[in-house]
Amino acid sequence: MKRGAFFKLLQHRTFDFTPRYYDAEKEERDARIKALYEKYGKKEEKNEESAEGVRRSISFSRERSRQAERKPILIRAAVVVGIFALLYVIFK
């Protein structure tokens, strides 16, 4: 069996670095697309789509919170029923 060392020996340092590359063509393309959206009013339609997405997200979170509220109540009810059943068996 191998034992751990009493003193921790120094290790060489390693870095997890991911270099980033600049793509001039992509920057130009994104700038042209942004200018076209501003010129032709596509931005307004995008806001409507995002508003609909927000509504869906809110309704989903409401449903999720309702389910989260029900779960502890069911667990407590099961525990209370279990305790009463145990007491009934003990004092029978």
CA–CA separation, 52 vs 55, rounded Å?
5
What residues contact residue 46 under an 8 Å CB cut-off, 6+ apart?
Answer: 37
**Gap between the Cα atoms of 55 and 53, Å rounded:** 5
Report if pTM > 0.75: no
Residue 14 lies in a domain: no
Overall domain count for the chain? 1
Q: What is the pLDDT of residues 19-40, one digit of tens each?
A: 888 888 989 999 999 998 888 8
Q: Is residue 17 part of a domain?
A: no
Domain around 29 = 24-90
Task: List, for residues 53-69, the tens digit of each pLDDT value.
Answer: 777 777 777 777 776 67
